[in-house]
A and B are shown apart, each in its own frame.
Chain A
């Protein structure tokens, strides 16, 4: 028996919008720790890891570990039927081949049940080792989204370079080139508007902008994003979900031949 009640149902709606472009089908894993997902895109270039900790739910019952295969487009269709202020409850019986999403309006005058068929998905779980990153950049998520969108109108790839001067995003295409430098800026009114660079040593890596743009679908989940870079590792682009967990995207770099 599984029953997860999330008062801030809009969070789940945003989570689906954040991952459905990258991944088509995925297993949602439910355990005492929380509600989680790990999945790669079809070309195995990017990986998304989601965690919603059990403590973040108003009610969390998961009698035994359960893995539920879902088509994310279909989940998104179902969740789009929930109002933005609705309370969402996810329910599944042991051994059932369906999951139920229940939507309650805030004043309880409307209750809807949407039952969705589950699917068998062969997914590979990958071990992601803890790593020391050469540089971690924290910046407003909207700013990062804007940079990725702007650069993708010029080129297909971005070189992200971190030095003590700041973080530079560079691209080149048929019509020209572009460079955007963001300097560390801690002297802002609100901490979420700051750009903070923690650098152990300078690092420069090249990534496909198409994937980074896809990651920015998570922007509504968090006002800030952190970008962790090391020369021999995929970049980690993390959006924290307040009090609950995170959506982390891993993207393999482009490698010079």
Chain B
């Protein structure tokens, strides 16, 4: 099954 990705792994905190 596909695993749900996470926004924080794409966009970094500023």
Q: Are B14 and A233 in contact (CB under 8 A)?
A: no
Distance A157 CA – B2 CA, assembled complex (angstroms):
10
Asked whether A175 is an interface residue with its Cβ less than 8 Å from the other chain, the reply is no
- A residues near B6, Cβ cutoff 8 Å: 44-45, 252
Distance A149 CA – B2 CA, assembled complex (angstroms):
21
Distance A234 CA – B4 CA, assembled complex (angstroms):
11
- B residues near A40, Cβ cutoff 8 Å: 7-8
List the one stretch of A76-84, A101-109, A125-133, A178-186 in contact with chain B.
Answer: A125-133
Q: Are B5 and A253 in contact (CB under 8 A)?
A: yes
Asked whether A208 is an interface residue with its Cβ less than 8 Å from the other chain, the reply is yes
* A contacts, CB < 8 Å to B: 40, 44-47, 124-129, 157, 206, 208, 233-234, 250, 252-257
Q: Are A125 and B5 in contact (CB under 8 A)?
A: no
Distance A7 CA – B4 CA, assembled complex (angstroms):
41
Distance A256 CA – B10 CA, assembled complex (angstroms):
16
Q: Are A47 and B4 in contact (CB under 8 A)?
A: no
Known: A127-B14, A250-B11. 10 other contacts (CB 8 A): A45-B4, A47-B7, A126-B8, A127-B11, A129-B11, A233-B10, A234-B5, A234-B11, A254-B3, A256-B3
Distance A45 CA – B4 CA, assembled complex (angstroms):
8
Distance A255 CA – B10 CA, assembled complex (angstroms):
13
